[in-house]
Amino acid sequence: MQWLMRFRILWGIHKSFHNIHPALSQLRCRSLSEVGAPRWNDYEVPEEFNFASCVLDYWAQMEKEGKRGPNPAFWWVNGQGDEVKWSFREIADLTRRTANILTQTCGLEQGDLLALILPRVPEWWLVAVGCMRTGIIFMPATIMLKAKDILYRLQMSKAKGIVTTDTLASDVDSMASECPSLKTKLLVSDHSREGWLDFRSLVKSASPEHTCIKSKTMDPMVIFFTSGTTGFPKMAKHSHGLALQPSFPTSRKIRSLKTSDVSWCLSDSGWILATMGTLVEPWTAGCTVFIHHLPQFDTKVIIQALLKYPINQFFGAPSIFRMILQQDFTSIRFPALEHCCTGGEVLWPKDQEEWKRRTGLLLYNIYGQSETGIICATLREMKIKPGFLGKASPPYDVQVIDDKGSILPPNTEGNIGIRIKPARPVTLFMCYEGNPEKTAEVECGDFFNTGDRGMMDEEGYICFLGRSDDIINAS
């Protein structure tokens, strides 16, 4: 980890920005808000888009021109007192180095698949953005996976590479002979291992000169494995369009992030929430991503971090807020905290009310899936309706439908659906990779059937009533 903290010195030796292009000419975007990343209207889809070059490099250029404040873009801490702070210029440099490692050292090419199985360590962000720069499709996965789960993912995806830590390296070695597609293995560790490339050593010596691919918006970018609660996990493949969502005006209003904000999204690195909530959304806004390594969930550590650091935006699952409320305090005031969001599980109205009573803060709901990103949300400017998820978030047209795809009247229970005809939303998954039958199964008339049950009131607020499979199994 020391190399990360010393990198600021190394980076100062070679500052190269030959590959940064001004956002206005490169993107032909519709508008900029003073200093702000490029944005489109809620339903506009540019032909070309790459988050690394269009957004991250834009902020690096703003820093170079003195048009962004001194806050770091990335702020990582752990329980041992280690701390890493990177600017956008440093991230741009490091991710170009990573891109060169992936293509030149590992021999990976655009369209190849790379399994990314890391905990909350800074290298996760470098590899994810490095893949975006090269067109390599990354596949995040939780480090909680067992050997059989890793084998399943490597075989199903035919991944050509993997990035992981010492903890899982032996498991990968034991199954390598069963994964003929696996050609390269990158280890993130302070120790070397036979048969593995040392990522930390390579990034020090890698060239910072790299030209980002000109990806089409609909070129594949990332694959998320679904939770597998109703069968084997499916590979939900997303295009670069997924990373466009936070650039849409309505999506920006969900958390209304500013460049001065410090955002902590507490998600396992294997889920879509990590990609969106700890990378794409906050960096689109140009704000600081705060990360605590937190190898084991510890409510006291979370509370201490919220008290110690200037975190003013906090996003986590309802269970996190519930466990904080279970601590022994009648009221608590986090000095910097202004806005709290939750999603991924059912939020009980009593927890929402108790959080407000004891912290003085509102708790806003967000709803989405591995296939969709954010489907609907309660924006900061909207009233909170306890028990409701919020309203549809563009580019999605969300309706409650019956089993044939017909829209149901207000306050009627049905399937939560997303309109895919006449035009499929750019942020919706492309397909279940290698599984056209399952891809076809979730299409219901003009809609994608999320598999979740719900109802919509007269104001357009959506209430979640459970998974279809759960309801069927319980009946």
For the stretch 314-330, pLDDT in tens is 999 999 999 999 998 88
Domain positions in the chain: 45-58+81-259+271-289
Nearest to 43, CA basis, from 447, 368, 428, 426? 426
pLDDT at 38: 59
193 vs 186: CA distance, rounded Å: 10
Tell me the β-bridge partners of 184: 161
Q: Is the pLDDT of residue 469 over 80?
A: no
Q: Which CATH superfamily is domain 45-58+81-259+271-289 in?
A: ANL, N-terminal domain (3.40.50.12780)
Tokens of 458: 């007269």
Average pLDDT (336-350) is 94
Q: Is the pLDDT of residue 307 over 60?
A: yes
Q: Is the pLDDT of residue 179 over 60?
A: yes
398 touches 392 (CB < 8 A): yes
Average pLDDT (302-319) is 97
pLDDT at 39: 61
pLDDT at 25: 30
Which pLDDT band, with edges at 50, 70 and 90, does 14 fall under? very low
C-alpha distance from residue 431 to each of 221, 412, 473 (Å): 12, 29, 26
Average pLDDT (179-185) is 97
Give the list of residues 6+ apart from residue 244 with CB closer than 8 angstroms, or none: 40, 45, 46, 49, 217, 426, 427
Average pLDDT (101-127) is 98
For the stretch 367-381, pLDDT in tens is 999 999 999 999 999
